[in-house]
């Protein structure tokens, strides 16, 4: 290859998957912050789905929601460590499915990390519920992480089945 750096497959996939996740996450959060009032809820599918505007200072399911600056530093540090681990795993990734899974997780982790660094909290705006039972509000980054983890678990399960013959 002339005049340039050859980019390896996992890095191309990481960029192709994580960049749109980060972009969509940041744009949707910005729209929520600009167009909604904090605490506001807009029914989209009555009885099932609302758009909301919440500030989550904690982690998933509002774990670690108290603790101030130390909590924020811990969550930022945890995100940076998680991204470093993902980078190592990507270098060792055996296939496209796992590379996409890790890229989704990385994109989601980076999207939420950007919020934590900027604000000290993460914007959550998707509210799924049935009757009075609400799933904790979440965002695009959380969705990408969940899908990526699901894909990784399926990959791990299928790899185990393959090795058993």
**Residue 109: per-residue pLDDT:** 96
Residue (of 133, 105, 111) closest to 124 by Cα position: 111
User: How many angstroms separate the CA atoms of 102 and 33, rounded?
Assistant: 28
Mean local confidence (pLDDT), 47-67: 79
Q: Phi and psi dihedrals of 122, rounded to 5?
A: -115, 140
**Residue 66: per-residue pLDDT:** 60
- Tell me which residues are annotated as active site: 124, 142
pTM: 0.86
Mean local confidence (pLDDT), 83-91: 92
Note the pLDDT tens digit of each residue in 140-164: 999 999 999 999 999 988 877 666 6
**Residue 63: per-residue pLDDT:** 57
* Average pLDDT of the chain to the nearest whole number: 89
**Residue 60: per-residue pLDDT:** 63
| Res. 61: pLDDT tops 60 | no
Measured between alpha carbons, how far is residue 162 from residues 101, 154, 156 in Å? 19, 12, 10
**Residue 91: per-residue pLDDT:** 87
| Res. 48: pLDDT tops 90 | yes
In sequence order, what DSSP letters do the residues of 75-139 get, joined into one string? HHHHHHHHHHHHHHHHHH--SHHHHHHHHHHHHHHHHHHHHHHHHSSEEEEEEEEETTEEPPPB-
């Amino acid at each position: 290859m002339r005049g340039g750096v050859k980019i390896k497959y996992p890095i191309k996939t990481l960029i192709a998957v994580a960049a749109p996740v980060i972009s969509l996450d940041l744009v949707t959060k910005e729209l929520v912050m600009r167009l909604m009032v904090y605490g506001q809820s807009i029914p989209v599918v009555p009885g099932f789905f609302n758009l909301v505007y919440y500030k989550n200072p904690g982690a998933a399911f509002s774990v670690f929601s108290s603790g101030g600056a130390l909590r924020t530093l811990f969550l930022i540090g945890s995100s940076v460590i998680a991204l470093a681990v993902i980078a190592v795993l990507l270098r060792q990734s055996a296939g496209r499915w796992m590379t996409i899974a890790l890229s989704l997780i990385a994109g989601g982790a980076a999207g939420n990390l950007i919020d934590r660094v900027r604000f000290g909290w993460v914007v959550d705006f998707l509210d799924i519920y049935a009757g009075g039972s609400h799933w904790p509000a979440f965002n695009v980054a959380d969705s990408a992480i969940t899908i990526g983890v699901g894909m990784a678990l399926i990959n791990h399960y299928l790899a185990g089945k393959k090795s058993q013959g």
